[in-house]
Structure 1
Amino acid sequence: MATADTQAKLLVVVAGPTAVGKTALAIKLARHFNTEIISADSRQFFREMSIGTAKPDAEERAAVPHHFIDSHSITTLFSTGDFENAALATLNGLFKKHQVIVAVGGSGLYINALCNGLDDMPEIDLEVREKMNRLHREQGVEVIRQKLWEVDPEYAAIVDQHNPQRMIRGLEVFFSTGLKLSGMRTRTQKERPFHILRIGLNMDRAALYERINNRVDQMMAAGLLDEVQTLLPYRGLNALQTVGYTELFDYLDGKSNLREAVERIKQNTRRFAKRQLTWFRKDSAMHWFEPAMYAQIEKLVTGQLNSLPR
Structure 2
Amino acid sequence: MSSKTLISIVGPTAIGKTALAIELAQHFGTEILSADSRQFFSEMEIGTAKPNELELAAVKHHFINSHSVEHLFSTGDFEIQALAVLKEIFEKNDIAVLVGGSGLYVNALLNGLDEMPEIDLSIRDKLNKQFVMEGINVIQKQLAECDPEYFAKVDQNNPQRMIRGLEVFLSTGRKLSSMLSSTKKERPFEVIKIGLNTDRAILYNRINQRVDQMINLGLVQEVKGLMQFKNHNALNTVGYSEIFDYLDHKISLNEAVMAIKQNTRRFAKRQLTWFRRDEEINWFEPGNTNKVIALIGELIIKKG
TM-score, normalised relative to structure 1: 0.95
User: Which runs of no fewer than 5 residues in structure 2 stay unpaired?
Assistant: none
Partner in structure 2 of residue 34 of structure 1:
29
Query: In the TM superposition, what is the alpha-carbon distance from 1:128 to its structure 2 partner?
Result: 2.7
Q: 1:49 aligns with which of 32, 44, 51?
A: 44
Q: 2-side partners of 1:142 and 1:18: how far apart?
A: 23
Quote the Cα distance in structure 1 between the aligned partners of 2:35 and 2:253: 31
Q: What do residues 270-293 of structure 1 show as CA deviations (whole Å, max 9, x unaligned)?
A: 000001111111112111111122
Aligned counterpart for 2:222 among listed residues 218, 227, 236:
227
**Aligned 8 A contact 2:2 2:190 in 1:** no
* Structure 1 Cα separation of the partners of residues 291 and 140 of structure 2: 41
Which shows bigger deviation, 19-28 or 130-139?
130-139
Paired residues of 1:119 and 1:184 also in contact (CA < 8 A): yes
Letter in 2 for 1:22: K
One-letter code aligned to 2:96: I
Aligned match of 1:269 in 251, 264, 279? 264
- Aligned counterparts of 1:183 and 1:283: Cα–Cα separation in 2: 18
Deviation at 1:132? 2.5
Supply the AA of the counterpart residue of 1:185: L
Q: Aligned partners of 1:140 and 1:62: how far apart in 2?
A: 40
| Deviation, structure 1 residue 257 | 0.6
Hey, what does 1:13 align to over in structure 2? 8
Instruction: Give the structure 2 partner of residue 140 of structure 1.
Output: 135
Find the counterpart in structure 2 of residue 303 from structure 1. Answer: 298
Quote the Cα distance in structure 2 between the aligned partners of 1:131 and 1:244. Answer: 27
**Aligned counterparts of 1:32 and 1:7: Cα–Cα separation in 2:** 21
**What do the CA deviations read for 1:51-89 (whole angstroms, capped 9, x no partner)?**
111011111111111111011111122111111111000
Distance 1:45 1:138 in 2: 27
Task: Quote the offset at 1:186 in angstroms.
Answer: 2.7
Q: CA deviation at 1:136?
A: 2.3
What is the one-letter code of the residue matched to 1:85? I
Whether 2:70 is the aligned partner of 1:75: answer yes
Q: Residue type matched to 2:173 in 1?
A: G
Match of 1:73, SS?
coil
Q: Is the 8 A contact 2:2 2:188 kept in 1?
A: no
| Residue of structure 1 in register with 2:250 after alignment | 255
Match of 1:25 in 2: 20
Q: Report the Cα distance in structure 1 between the residues aligned to 2:303 and 2:266, rounded to whole angstroms.
A: 39
1:123 counterpart residue number: 118
Code of the aligned partner of 2:249: G
Q: What does residue 209 of structure 1 align with? A: 204
Identity of aligned residues (%): 61
TM-score by length of structure 2 reads 0.97
Which is worse superposed, 84-93 or 70-79? 70-79
Q: Describe how 1:95-244 pairs up with structure 2 within 5 A.
A: 95-244=90-239
RMSD: 1.4
**How far 1:180 moved relative to its partner?**
1.1
- 1:276-287 pair list within 5 angstroms: 276-287=271-282
User: Are the equivalent residues in 2 in contact too, given 1:119–1:187 (CA < 8 A)?
Assistant: no
Unaligned runs of 5+ in 1: 1-5
**For 2:7, what is the secondary structure of its paired residue?**
strand
